[in-house]
Amino acid sequence: MIVIFGIFLLTLLVITAIAIVRTDNLFVAVMLMGIASLLIAGNFFLLDAADVALTEAAVGAGISTVLFLSALALTSERERARSSNKILSFTVVTAAAMILIYATFDKPRFGDPEAPAQTHVAPWYLEKTPEYIDIPNVVTAVLGSFRGYDTLGEVFVVLTAGIGVLFLLGSGAPLGSLPQEQVNEGLRHHLIPRVIGRVLIPFILLFGLYVQFHGEYGPGGGFQAGAIIAAGIILFALLEGEQRALSVLPARVLLGLMAFGPLLYGAVGIAGIVLGGNFLDYSVLSSDPVKGQQLGILLIEAGVGITVTGVLLGIFHAFAARGR
Amino acid sequence: MEILGLYNYWVFAVLLMTGFYAVIAKRNLVKKLIGLSLFQAAVFLLYITMGKVDGGTAPIFSGSDTTIFSNPLPQVLILTAIVVGISTTALGLGIIVRLKEEYGTIEEHEIQEIDER
């Protein structure tokens, strides 16, 4: 039954993808991207990846849509030119798809427990997590501790992308200096979105904090929580106007948050060296190695969450400020 | 069921190439970026599909010892990749907005024409 449902979702996904490419209205394409993200998130859930589904739903269907729409507001909503070299492109793409499909016949069957991917390091992670780290969510354990170097690198990539956007678009002019009529009022005069948003936003933020601090026990962690909290605050900015959002979290604070996350993460790593272990070895943070691991993961997840929130909000405000 | 066992991989191939078609055939830069996002999503789907184990569940311990878990490693990789993906997409959109301001268009061939003048 679940297999059939998965196939249904994937078929819908392919149809959506083709519609996205075929439409020449970019607004429609962005909305369909949101639907595609939601379908993918549903699929990830069926494939046992609860953490990934959560991230995809928050990032793909939420933040990505908002960013694309703010970029469309600054550019144009319609594609003007027809495609170039349609036939040649189509031939190349079809040929490549055929080769890829031909290659899949050598792949292990879906869900095969004997597949090479399942027999290499994964059993080790599943076996050793209770012993070394003792938290229920293996994904968080691998992300935070076993592969902490990777995650540190990813956090720096997120920070770098955020800095790049701020360099390109500027972090926004100080709003106080603008004449009143130029200030973006959001949807403040629309009663229904405003009332519903007011009810929803506290719960979105609360859920974000829950996902952040419950990441060791259930699906969650810094990446998901950062995306959810950023989505909540972006909703606030859309409803109440950008200025209100910036008076709650000023641009300077956002810059601080962007930089503070990687600093916290790096500091935890260096604390490991100072206390006599290796870089990002959390075992030495406490007298009990397992408690040390848990403390380390809590801290670096906080660092990840802070960076992701700061960067996503900084990017959003950079686009929104450009529109004035 | 045997033949359906590869369906996820076929969807991956079709999705990947649909995104790639938008990147190479479309001239609108935003559309190219949307295509790139689709391409990315296809890769995510491939990784998560490879981590699935029959009869498995999400890799979160819940008390009983006999549960089969799906592979946590691809999930970790993709989890971080999604957030990095949105950051790089935002960077691309930033570049497009700047191009629009400089050239007044986001169609690739028009930008080339202006450059050649």
Chain centroid to CA A189: 31
The SS3 of residue A122 is: helix
The SS3 of residue B60 is: strand
Query: Would the CB atoms of A168 and B95 count as touching at under 8 Å?
Result: yes
Reading chain A (324 residues) residue by residue, the pLDDT tens digits are 778 888 999 999 999 999 999 998 999 999 999 999 999 999 999 999 999 999 999 888 889 999 999 999 998 888 876 777 889 999 999 999 999 999 988 888 888 888 888 888 888 998 888 889 889 999 999 999 999 999 999 999 999 999 999 999 876 555 444 444 455 667 778 888 889 988 999 999 999 999 999 888 888 889 999 999 999 999 999 888 888 888 888 989 999 999 999 999 999 999 999 998 889 889 888 889 999 999 999 999 999 999 999 999 999 999 988 876
Q: Nearest Cβ partner of A122 from B71, B82, B110?
A: B71
> Are A18 and B22 spatial neighbours (Cβ–Cβ below 8 Å)?
no
pTM of the complete model: 0.90
DSSP 8-state symbol, A106: T
Q: Nearest Cβ partner of A104 from B9, B52, B93?
A: B9
| B-proximal residues of A, 102-121, CB under 8 Å | 104-105, 107, 109-113, 115, 117-118, 121
Residue of B nearest to A129 (CA): B61
Name A92's Cβ contacts closer than 8 Å, sequence gap at least 6. B24
B46: containing domain: 27-53+69-117
| B-proximal residues of A, 169-228, CB under 8 Å | 169, 217-219, 221, 223-224, 226-227
Instruction: Take residue A186 and report the two structure tokens written for it.
Output: 């959001």
Query: Would the CB atoms of B80 and A150 count as touching at under 8 Å?
Result: yes
- If one counts the domains in chain B, the total is 1
Beta bridge partners of A258: none
Name A279's Cβ contacts closer than 8 Å, sequence gap at least 6. A269, A270, A272, A273
Q: What is the ipTM of this complex?
A: 0.93
Taking the CB of residue A3, how many other CB atoms lie within 10 A of it? Answer: 14
- Tally the residues of chain B: 117
- Tally the residues of chain A: 324
